[in-house]
Amino acid sequence: MTKRGVSAVWEYFTVVRGREEIAQCNVCGSEIRRGASGSKGKSFSTKSLWGHLKARHPDEHSAAEGIQSKELEQQIKKKKKIEEEKAKVYTLSKDSSSGSSKQITLEHTFLLSKKIEANHQDQVEGEKLLVYWLCDSLKSFQTVENEHFLKFIQHLCQRFKVPSEKTIRTKLVPELNAKVQFLVKETLDSNKNGLYCITTDIWSSPSKESFMSITLHWITEDFARKEAVLRCIRYNTSHTASNLANTLKGICNDWGIHNIHLILRDNASNIIQGIKLAGYDSMGCFCHILHLVVKYSVMEQSGVKMMISKMRGLVKKLQRPKSKAIFQKYQEKAGVSKNVIILDCETSWGSTYEMCECALEQKQAIKLAEDDPDLDIMANATMTPTDWELIPKVLALLGPLNMASKMAERDSASISDVIPLTKRLTMEVSSVPGSGVGTMKEEVLKQIKRYLGGGDSQAHFIAVEENHLTVIATLLDPRYKTAGFIEKEKAERAKEKLLSLMIAEINKNRDHEENSDVEQTPNMEASSTSVSTACPWDAILNTDSEDSQGSMA
């Protein structure tokens, strides 16, 4: 008879010492894998062990099933008994709380106060759900030691024992992490022939600790988009290119990921060089490039800098508790909505755009409030008529950039959106009336060309219509095809590039028969420029931008 809670299959297997993921068959000596290397505890499975018995040792398999059936029957009886006891305890507890005169026996009083056993199903399930909640809501592990949290749990279920912070940190969370890692690895193993993309970033917390995240992206065989955070680590070592390269390669090797198509990163020179040293292809984040466009165009204008500085000072004043009540009176008087005025984050131009939008909406209330002596708004936080005239002009120029940034942040966004978004961005900025914003408008267009049109030789500035990744993705996207391109000539060159890649792929996968005609390959390559009239892709690739039905966004 096996131990309680242990599968009957272990009558015929023994765990190999030092290799917990391997079990050796006691009958034939075969070594069977029961989980991923490095996994622990509950992440292991007996499915492969049962499969071995069934295939190789049918008699032992039948005997083990018999033992398992008897133990299962006993467990069902025990569970039923426990449920009956719980129902009895619940009834007695209910009678007690409702003021019933029925006296509770000493035995039942003991049952009400007794904690659930550590290995009981209810305790285990409760701990699992608690850890899920802590992780999903990003709660501190010390939450379980909060006095009011403990009282709340005690009120819901007196018998549940809340695990300590140490138990959660050293046992429950590592077990959950191992289980999740095993499931992710299983998923990745089923996609061995697929390609992966990685997004990575390094940032600092408010306490000035550096962190690095690595997120994997891939498409399944049924074209479903998937992603998984492989690692989020403290990164307090020097951010040199060699250190970053070693970290990237180490994490990818740990997960057994080698077929990496592209790494999407920010535009810092150290991460660019680090990815290059690691041997991976990379591309700058489109949203980060838009940030640079705004930073070195609109935000460089002295008048804009002064206006935003005043607005920040004004908003800080109006956000004070005492000022809020006063400002609400002016909002009522001006007939505007009672929305709270937003203060921007100085490193996020998108929040500055929203602050300007909100201030313009509240313009009449703000003008009334500025004269109130109780608000004590200083001259350096008072908006002038010139400032109010400048705000809508700034919003008109930032609007297309904000739109492009929002569209690039969507879950469904892909690299095929980069060229069409650049085209639309250029068109919309160009269409902004030039009165009063001529210099800013010219600077925005200049920076768009510099960062996205190949107007600068620096490595982290993308020539979107010459980058092989963006042009191929745009051509293959049925929404865009050639209509997504800004310049028709570059669209034609992209078509030729795509056709040559297709031909190379056909030649690569061609059956290597001994009697194959080796002269066919150069003939195909030589005719690549004339394929457009005979290639079956011609109907798709030869579509003019005027005739394309692909949407622009």
Q: What is the arithmetic mean of pLDDT over 211-230? A: 91
pLDDT at 5: 54
Measured N-to-C along each axis, helices 173-189 and 121-136 cross at an angle, to the nearest 10 degrees, of: 80
Last residue of a domain, one of 284, 319, 338: 284
pLDDT at 539: 33
Q: What is the arithmetic mean of pLDDT over 234-242? A: 91
**Which amino acid type is present at position 308?**
I
Residues 376, 381, 385, 390, CA torsion sign? negative
Copy the structure tokens of residue 527.
Answer: 């005719």
pLDDT at 62: 86
Helix, strand or coil, per DSSP, at residue 456: coil
pLDDT at 220: 87
pLDDT at 525: 41
DSSP-derived pairing of the beta strands 210-219 and 282-284? unpaired
Q: Do 413 and 279 belong together in one domain? A: no
Q: 553 vs 399, which has greater pLDDT?
A: 399
Residue 524 pLDDT more than 50?
no
| Domain annotation covers residue 531 | yes
| Domain annotation covers residue 103 | no
| Domain annotation covers residue 517 | yes
CA distances from 471 to 281, 433, 450 (A): 15, 31, 18
Helix, strand or coil, per DSSP, at residue 551: coil
Copy the structure tokens of residue 482.
Answer: 């050639």
pLDDT at 91: 53
Residue 54 pLDDT more than 70?
yes
Q: Do 149 and 210 belong together in one domain? A: no
Residue 135 pLDDT more than 50?
yes
| Domain annotation covers residue 546 | no
Q: What is the arithmetic mean of pLDDT over 46-53? A: 88
**Which amino acid type is present at position 247?**
T
| Domain annotation covers residue 98 | no
Q: Which range among 18-22, 510-514, 547-551 has the greatest average pLDDT?
A: 18-22
Contact call for residues 248 and 200 (beta carbons, < 8 A)? yes
| Domain annotation covers residue 148 | yes
Q: How far apart are CA 316 and CA 433, in angstroms?
A: 32
Residue 377 pLDDT more than 60?
yes
Q: Do 257 and 323 belong together in one domain? A: no
Q: Do 315 and 425 belong together in one domain? A: yes
Q: How far apart are CA 287 and CA 405, in angstroms?
A: 6
Last residue of a domain, one of 41, 61, 84: 84
Residue 514 pLDDT more than 80?
no
Mind listing the pLDDT tens digit for each residue in 418-436? 999 999 999 999 999 877 7
Contact call for residues 397 and 440 (beta carbons, < 8 A)? yes
- pLDDT category at 159 given cuts 50, 70, 90 is confident
Alpha helices, DSSP H, located in 409-430: 418-430
Beta strands across the sheet bearing 282-284: 225-234, 210-219, 196-204, 260-265, 282-284
Mind listing the pLDDT tens digit for each residue in 384-397? 999 999 999 999 99
Q: Do 423 and 337 belong together in one domain? A: yes
Q: Which range among 185-194, 207-216, 543-552 has the greatest average pLDDT?
A: 207-216
Contact call for residues 17 and 8 (beta carbons, < 8 A)? no
Contact call for residues 387 and 363 (beta carbons, < 8 A)? no
Last residue of a domain, one of 32, 61, 84: 84
Contact call for residues 350 and 287 (beta carbons, < 8 A)? no
Q: 534 vs 334, which has greater pLDDT?
A: 334
Contact call for residues 246 and 276 (beta carbons, < 8 A)? no
- pLDDT category at 538 given cuts 50, 70, 90 is very low
**Which amino acid type is present at position 419?**
I
Contact call for residues 42 and 177 (beta carbons, < 8 A)? no
**Which amino acid type is present at position 79?**
K
pLDDT at 543: 42
Residue 330 pLDDT more than 60?
yes
Name the phi and psi angles at 194, rounded to 5.
Answer: -85, 170
pLDDT at 271: 93
Q: Which range among 28-37, 131-140, 371-380 has the greatest average pLDDT?
A: 131-140
Q: How far apart are CA 484 and CA 545, in angstroms?
A: 7
Q: Is 208 left (phi over 0), alpha (psi -120 to 50) or beta?
A: left
Q: How far apart are CA 494 and CA 470, in angstroms?
A: 10
| Domain annotation covers residue 267 | yes
The four Cα atoms 333, 339, 341, 343 give a dihedral, to 10 degrees, of 180
Nearest by Cα to 198 from 281, 308, 321? 281
| Domain annotation covers residue 109 | no
User: What is the pLDDT of the chain when averaged over all its residues?
Assistant: 83
Q: How far apart are CA 72 and CA 475, in angstroms?
A: 59
- pLDDT category at 3 given cuts 50, 70, 90 is low
Q: Do 298 and 447 belong together in one domain? A: yes
- pLDDT category at 356 given cuts 50, 70, 90 is very high
pLDDT at 2: 53
Lowest model confidence (mean pLDDT) among 168-172, 349-353, 399-403, 515-519 = 515-519
Beta-bridged to residue 22, according to DSSP, are: 33
pLDDT at 340: 86
Nearest by Cα to 262 from 190, 340, 197? 197
Q: What share of the chain is helix, strand, coil (3-state, %, to 5)?
A: 60, 10, 35
CA distances from 307 to 319, 357, 383, 393 (A): 18, 13, 7, 12
Q: What is the arithmetic mean of pLDDT over 154-178? A: 91
Q: How far apart are CA 301 and CA 442, in angstroms?
A: 12
Residue 517 pLDDT more than 80?
no
Q: What is the arithmetic mean of pLDDT over 165-180? A: 93
Contact call for residues 452 and 464 (beta carbons, < 8 A)? yes
Contact call for residues 417 and 407 (beta carbons, < 8 A)? yes
Helix, strand or coil, per DSSP, at residue 328: helix
Copy the structure tokens of residue 51.
Answer: 């499969």
Lowest model confidence (mean pLDDT) among 171-175, 215-219, 520-524 = 520-524
CATH value at residue 278: 3.30.420.40
Structural domain count, the chain: 5
Q: How far apart are CA 10 and CA 214, in angstroms?
A: 39
Q: Do 251 and 307 belong together in one domain? A: no
Buried b / exposed e along 469-481 (16+ C-beta atoms within 10 A):
bbbbbbbebebbb
Q: How far apart are CA 2 and CA 6, in angstroms?
A: 6
Domain that holds residue 16: 8-84
Q: How far apart are CA 217 and CA 197, in angstroms?
A: 5
Q: Do 379 and 330 belong together in one domain? A: yes
Residue 305 pLDDT more than 50?
yes
Q: Do 333 and 431 belong together in one domain? A: yes
Q: Do 413 and 301 belong together in one domain? A: yes
Q: Do 167 and 209 belong together in one domain? A: no
Q: Do 311 and 367 belong together in one domain? A: yes
Mind listing the pLDDT tens digit for each residue in 89-103? 555 454 544 445 455
